[in-house]
Amino acid sequence: MIWAKQKFAGADYAPYLDRLAELQLANGPICGQFIMVAKKAAAGEGIYFVGVPNQSYLAGFDGFEVIPDSELPTEVDYLLLADISSDEYRFHIKTPGGPTFPH
């Protein structure tokens, strides 16, 4: 699994979410290995993390910085795309007053 991150303001992350969803749909047998989560940053900004099966899937993710697993947060604010039944699912999602997802 390859991980990358980038900071975005507002909905500037949306084209990358669309791209990741397209990759997930086009790669059914490994669809659980395409993940996007985010942590809140400064007002109106977020740090977005994408996970893909290998480096070649990061083509088209301009500006994303590849990071080691050790830099991944364990708790995130948003789950944008994931197969939560996948073995690759590893995040605790902050859900004030709501359920927590398995991790």
Domain membership of residue 16 (yes or no) is: yes
Domain membership of residue 6 (yes or no) is: yes
Domain membership of residue 100 (yes or no) is: no
The model's pTM is 0.86
Task: Provide the domain limits for residue 73.
Answer: 2-93
Decide: 57 and 23 in contact? Cβ < 8 Å.
yes
Domain membership of residue 49 (yes or no) is: yes
Domain membership of residue 12 (yes or no) is: yes
In degrees rounded to 5, what are phi and psi of residue 28?
-45, -50
How many domains does the chain fold into?
1
> pLDDT tens, position by position, for the chain (103 residues)?
999 999 999 999 999 999 999 999 999 889 889 999 999 998 889 999 999 999 999 999 999 999 999 999 988 988 898 876 655 556 777 765 544 444 3
Domain membership of residue 102 (yes or no) is: no
If you search the block for the tokens 């059914």, which residue do you land on?
28
Domain membership of residue 98 (yes or no) is: no
How would you label 44-74 residue by residue, b for 16+ Cβ within 10 Å and e otherwise? eebbbbbbbbeeebbeebeebeeeeeeebee
Closest CA to 4 of 63, 44, 49, 47: 49
